[in-house]
A and B are shown apart, each in its own frame.
Chain A
Amino acid sequence: GENVEQHPSTLSVQEGDSAVIKCTYSDSASNYFPWYKQELGKGPQLIIDIRSNVGEKKDQRIAVTLNKTAKHFSLHITETQPEDSAVYFCAAFNTDKLIFGTGTRLQVFP
């Protein structure tokens, strides 16, 4: 079955710097890749997604890139702010279900 690996597990950045989180997937049949932000005590919140027919998508300070050949996709957050601090999960949609990575704890220091 599909396997999603996510790196790094923790990431600390200074406010205003950029943050990059990377994921790889194993099954080339996966065709939809969402990213979720999970704050303490809350459920995952969808922040951006990309489909396999697109290489890059941007929404204000957040962007996602997809390399289908290498089976890599990445989340880029620019001009980070303290409220970006949370756990971020990547996922791959495969056989009608989402397969999640293990999460990245992002800390943004003022």
Chain B
Amino acid sequence: DAGVTQSPTHLIKTRGQQVTLRCSPKSGHDTVSWYQQALGQGPQFIFQYYEEEERQRGNFPDRFSGHQFPNYSSELNVNALLLGDSALYLCASSAPVRGLVWETQYFGPGTRLLVL
């Protein structure tokens, strides 16, 4: 049973460029959440996708956007990259239980983004 997969593993971009990161959820999961983890810190919630819609968003600017496909995979797009966007970007998948509660989340290995 494949876990959460992410691509690419590493990425180097320059300021002002745009980047797209990809995530495939764990088998049987239909919900994808994205997190940003700066060096030495805990993950920070960016947004969550369910049924191809953004259903929850953290405190991130509109430069961060996403998409979910019918097969539940997801993309994270970041426009106009800043130096401060350098971080590990994590994808987590989950499945709603007891109605619509997305508690247990399983993380992928992440994509390390470096903005120069």
Residues of A at under 8 Å CB distance from B? Answer: 4, 6, 32, 34, 36, 41-46, 49, 51, 89, 91, 93, 95-103
Contact = CB atoms under 8 A, between A and B. Distances in A.
Q: Classify chain B: how many residues form its interface, as a range.
A: 20 to 34
What DSSP secondary structure best describes chain A's contact surface? strand
Nearest to B111: A43
Given A43-B109, A44-B107, A96 B48 contact: yes
A89 B42 contact: yes
Interface string B71-102: 00000000000000000001010000000011
A71 to B, nearest CB: 18
B87 to A, nearest CB: 13
Contacts of A6: 42
Given A43-B108, A46-B106, A97 B90 contact: no
Given A97-B56, A102-B42, A43 B48 contact: no
